[in-house]
Structure 1
């Protein structure tokens, strides 16, 4: 067994996937970046997370002589493709016809007090309404869900290369990416991956590949 710890500039180090690609086993880091995984010299470990750049290491005899094996990881740079600033100042309760024109308007501090006091001064829940108008809530939910799916796809790719999926699961090379999208939509498969149950995940992936290939044949 290998006892290890991820180190980085960021304090949040839990839930990082640690995959032994050689032995086809995996685990996830606990609070503080600590992990334990079955491994031996010459095994290849792959560490992956949605907030860190992937890291691949090949273990040596020396790595097993210390109490802890340290792995440094670099936080992922997240670049925004576009920043759009939209002026919603013209949208207010009067313009929307929610309150009579000229009704007293409350300061932000007053509204916060009202919110804490069971919405007595904000019975219509205007903040959620404005979120719905701007689409911000939906956008954030979709972004989080897509990020989760991309991370899962990356983790599947660590277990199976494109060549493996084509040779072992019989998925045509040009449809491999589509198959990965198809797989991460399956809730049972996602639960197995999140639980690091690699063996069951592989069986499920094989079954999904069979269904996917049938769908391709029907087109």
Structure 2
């Protein structure tokens, strides 16, 4: 006769199997500073695919642990593994990086990895000294993202910089990037990435508890969270704030979101 522990294990395996095998339809949107129409969305695990519309929107069926591949001629390929949160919310937003044409890489000498301590060991001859050796302060803070590095390289043009540029005392890059709109585009991208990162942190930490007391159909939960992230004061009111303060913000946006949905229905 089976014991209670054996029955518990059996039921656990059955529930795990059905949870793992559950197929849901994911609603998603692709964002980029390039064209977002006709981007291929491929479920490599199930061999099914979809194509984004003019707004970057798509729908595709998937289950837990499936791998979604996003690709186009203009973008770098990106892979997303379906996790429990995607199954729960049935929605995702994917930010694609534009593809930059580069010359073939020529390697001269040792290949460096980017890891300071590893590269020092691989350099021939006497290793260079660093700020640890001489006891001076050095930067040990957060590494900038790719978009933040590009923005820093583009420069931020100020009117007071113009005389020096005209007299040859400064680079024209900040002015040219301001005229072409590249600086504005990079600022928008950095802001978008920061909002998306913060929104995902809030979702993983607070969303489940929030929706218990503020009910909302699962199909609209991700839409609500992006509605919050698009608020002009989202970063100011939620970044480095306590959970209580963030929940107050979410509650206020929840009421506004429901009002918007009711107005749309009417």
When normalised by structure 1's length, the TM-score is 0.41
Structure with the largest fraction of helix: 2
Structure with more contact order per residue of length (Cα contacts < 8 Å, sep ≥ 6): 1
